[in-house]
């Protein structure tokens, strides 16, 4: 599987897409940030300061997402069972 991108919404209701320019290529791993309106990508027209705040928020949000995902380790006894991960329709929550 390849991650092609994430759609995020900030506190002001603006939606952004963080995506991988070439998800099939592992060299360089270049990412883009675009606006998302009516199911299409749009250019961002913000000041440098606003863009830094947006990118900072995106990084914090993605870090929180990855920190909340179950960890799979080599030791089978310590593995989190996939049956404990609820469907995406339920918000992708992890059961306790």
Query: 33-42 contacts: CB < 8 A, separation 24 or more?
Result: 33/58, 36/7, 41/17
Contact of 6 with 15, CB cutoff 8 Å: no
Query: Residues 62-90: pLDDT tens digits?
Result: 999 989 988 776 555 554 454 444 434 43
Instruction: Provide the residue ranges of all domains of the chain, joining segments of one domain with +.
Output: 5-67
CA distance 29 to 23: 8
Residue 94 has pLDDT above 60, yes or no: no
Query: Residues 37-47: pLDDT tens digits?
Result: 888 999 989 99
The pTM score is 0.59
CA distance 79 to 92: 18
Query: Residues 18-56: pLDDT tens digits?
Result: 987 765 656 666 788 899 988 899 998 999 999 999 999
pLDDT of residue 86: 43
pLDDT of residue 3: 76
Query: 50-55 contacts: CB < 8 A, separation 24 or more?
Result: 54/10, 54/16
Contact of 4 with 31, CB cutoff 8 Å: no
Do you know the residue count of the chain? 96
Residue 9 has pLDDT above 90, yes or no: yes
């Amino acid at each position: 599987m390849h991650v092609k991108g994430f759609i995020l919404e900030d506190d002001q209701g603006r939606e952004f897409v963080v995506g991988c320019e070439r998800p099939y290529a592992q060299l360089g791993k270049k990412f883009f940030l675009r606006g998302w309106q009516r199911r299409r990508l749009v250019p961002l027209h913000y000041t440098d300061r606003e863009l830094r705040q947006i990118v900072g928020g995106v990084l914090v949000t993605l870090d929180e997402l990855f920190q909340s995902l179950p960890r799979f380790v080599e030791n089978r006894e310590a593995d989190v069972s996939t049956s404990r991960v609820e469907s995406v329709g339920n918000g992708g929550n992890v059961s306790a």
